[in-house]
Structure 1
Amino acid sequence: MTLPEPPESSSRPLSGRRALITGASRGIGADIARAFAAAGADLVLTARDASALEEPAGRLASEHGVRIAVLAADLAAPEVPDRLWGDAATLLGGLDVLVNNAGISHPETVDQLDSAHFDETLRVNLRAPALLAARAGAAMAAAGGGAIITIASAAALRPLAEHYAYSTAKAGLVMATRTLALELGPQGVRANSICPTVVLTDMGQRVWGDQPDKAAPMLARIPQSRFAQPHEVSDVAVWLASDAASMVSGTEIPVDGGYLIS
């Protein structure tokens, strides 16, 4: 048996790759777009409001010499997940990587659970990314391979109070990602999940970083005693999309400072 050669070291490990990143207008998605562009990938970025992507897309394309297209995509709409991969692939002449990042959260206790919030969370956080990943995975398999990266959550692996619907959806998405790795691995498709703790995006800073009393109990459960920065998630995503992770598939990578072992 001939073993694959180790990947060459490069400051642009995603050069020549074409990636679709959902939920790319802010937060973790925006930082993953930055990191992928810096790593040399051509991109299709999506958000519900495509106009919010125009300026950052143009800036990243100019700074890093990559192609970047934008698409409006409301993943809560029933028909969007089935067609999004094909629409995005048309813009770049094919795609090699999917980063399933878009998601929502309605924090509420179980006794105050709103059924409409529950349904919306499952539509956006489970149904849409699972269907999109299935369509993407099938297309990648037919084309000879690719990488699917799910931005899940530590809440998918350890229950988090006031996140009943969110934890349920993310846990389901982790299992969907594992199943893709199992079924499509023989065709060269790798699928993995990243499971962060609280990430100090602008929103994370407002909700957690600027509220010490709320943050303290959560920080007490994280051995490193801090929350994650967006680039710490993006760096893992770049690695998973690259040849450096060519033997990594069907797993969950915590970016949590030890939260899941505490």
Structure 2
Amino acid sequence: MARSDQGAPVSPATRPGIGPVLTPGRWALITGASSGLGSEFATQLASRGLHVALVARRAGRLEELAARLRADHKVDAHVVVEDLSRRDAAAAVHAAVKDAGIAVDVLINNAGLGTSGDVIDTDPARIDELLQVNVTALTGLSRLFAADMVAAGAGAIVNIASVAAAIPAPHMAVYSASKAFVASFSQALAVELEGTGVRVVTALPGATATEFAEAGGRIPGPASMHARAEDVVASFLTAVDQLRTPLVATHGRADAAMAALLPKLPRRPALRLIERAMRAR
């Protein structure tokens, strides 16, 4: 069973109701925790005194991160090695933390894959893998852990979409479409969960210095303009602290402006502009 900040077991029936959830002694589960935003989420949550369940497919990196968080922040860190592109991955992750006696208070659906290039030139297996990770696993994890949080009367879910959700992106068509799903799904889920004590934050990061390009995506703009992962994560955790739902969170004025303005532009000229920008990279 999960521990409180005093070390005593905490059951769902006895945990606090509506109120701050990013508090010491609670458990956060982070997918895609082996690098990038996921690793940064784990680090910042652990620095707040939360225990962390780390999910990714690279066992070595997860174990290294878990050891560092235990040493630096004196929290529990539980490793779940899982490939979210597997069809039953969400159920497997949920079962793994249940079997470990962990009650998840905060879910960070961060794992994601990218594609670049034209759809007709993309390996169909890669498209299936992307949709499984970005859409199917995220939806399944949200459903399973939201149900647990509703039963407990408190919790938070942060689903990582992208500024790319704001408008289709030629040459990253499948990726941008998957993130549009995440944004739509998450905002609808937030409304469904109003009054339950569970809040949902739809996070729209822009160009951020991570390993996303290594996962098949493109990070637009020069590297000097890419946001730091630690700053992006801090802004999204601040959004969770604000206790508002439904909530769409961005980092910085430029990302906020793009998320707000891109959907309002005349569609064909906007698509042509993005298409030229993507082709130029």
- TM-score category by the smaller chain? 0.7 to 0.9
1:215 paired with 2:221, answer yes
Match of residue 109, structure 2, among 92, 100, 103: 100
Q: CA RMSD in A?
A: 2.8
SS of match in other structure, 1:14? coil
Shift of 1:258: 1.3
Distance 2:38 2:203 in 1: 13
The alignment's TM-score, normalised by the length of structure 1, stands at 0.82
Whichever residue aligns with residue 255 of structure 1, its letter is H
- Report the counterpart of residue 64 of structure 1 in structure 2: 73
- Report the counterpart of residue 33 of structure 1 in structure 2: 42
Distance 1:5 1:116 in 2: 43
Match of residue 254, structure 2, among 255, 258, 262: 258
Shift of 1:74: 0.9
Change (3 A) 1:124 1:202: closer
SS of match in other structure, 2:183? helix
Shift of 1:180: 1.8
Change (3 A) 1:240 1:61: farther
1:123 paired with 2:123, answer no
SS of match in other structure, 1:187? coil
- Report the counterpart of residue 226 of structure 1 in structure 2: 225
SS of match in other structure, 1:71? strand
* Structure 2 unaligned spans of 5+: 1-16, 263-281
Match of residue 139, structure 1, among 127, 145, 148: 148
- Report the counterpart of residue 152 of structure 1 in structure 2: 161
SS of match in other structure, 2:140? helix
The superposition leaves residues 103-158 of structure 1 with CA deviations (integer Å, 9 ceiling, x where unpaired) of 11121124534433222211110011011101111111011121000111111113
- Report the counterpart of residue 245 of structure 1 in structure 2: 242
Change (3 A) 1:5 1:57: closer
Point out 4+ residue stretches in structure 1 off by more than 3 angstroms: 4-7, 202-205
Distance 1:90 1:240 in 2: 31
Whichever residue aligns with residue 176 of structure 1, its letter is F
The superposition leaves residues 230-262 of structure 1 with CA deviations (integer Å, 9 ceiling, x where unpaired) of 012210232244xx322x222221225414147
Q: Is the 8 A contact 1:28 1:201 kept in 2?
A: yes
Q: Is the 8 A contact 2:119 2:174 kept in 1?
A: no
Aligned residue pair count: 241
- Report the counterpart of residue 8 of structure 2 in structure 1: none
